[in-house]
Amino acid sequence: MPKENVAVIRGMYDAFAAGDVPGVLGRMNPDMVWNEAENLPYADGNPYIGPGAVAQGVFARCGSEWDGFPVVVDELLDAGDTVVALGRYRGTYKATGRPQNTQLVYVWRLAGGKMVRFQQSVDTLQVARVIGTAE
């Protein structure tokens, strides 16, 4: 199922770019385990369990705190039941007016055509500088 797993992740990013949150959440297993990178403000809820927790604890916060929050994926690496995404965050943090161009690596694990685990890795220092918690 590897090629299908990449298609699931690609479809999720397409839904995210289109603002289709139900399309994103619908690709998650009901017991999805989501981990934000340590030292990010959104890691305070780790692990987020289930699509509802991800929507409230991550997506809603990003939507309210950022002016645009596109995830630009440059490459998807097929590793069977694991898909690795390489890319960058864009957008401007509303409270500081600072834009970001932050490197990211995501590790997605899939089973039965659904996303079951997510681990974010991101340049946390860059994010801290953008949101004003580090210089």
Q: Quote the radius of gyration of the chain (alpha carbons, Å).
A: 14
pLDDT per residue as tens digits for the range 4-38: 999 999 999 999 999 899 999 999 999 999 999 99
Alpha helices in the chain (DSSP H): 2-17, 21-25, 51-54, 60-65, 124-131
Q: What pTM was estimated for this model as a whole? A: 0.93
| Cβ atoms < 10 Å from Cβ of 126 | 16
For residue 42, what is the DSSP state?
Answer: G
Q: What is the dihedral of CA 95, 52, 86, 72, to 10 degrees?
A: -50
pLDDT digits (tens, 9 = 90+) for 33-45: 999 999 999 999 9
Q: DSSP string of 56-91?
A: IIIIHHHHHHEE---EEEEEEEEETTEEEEEEEE--
Taking the C-alpha atoms of residue 31 and residue 99, their distance in angstroms, rounded to an integer, is 34
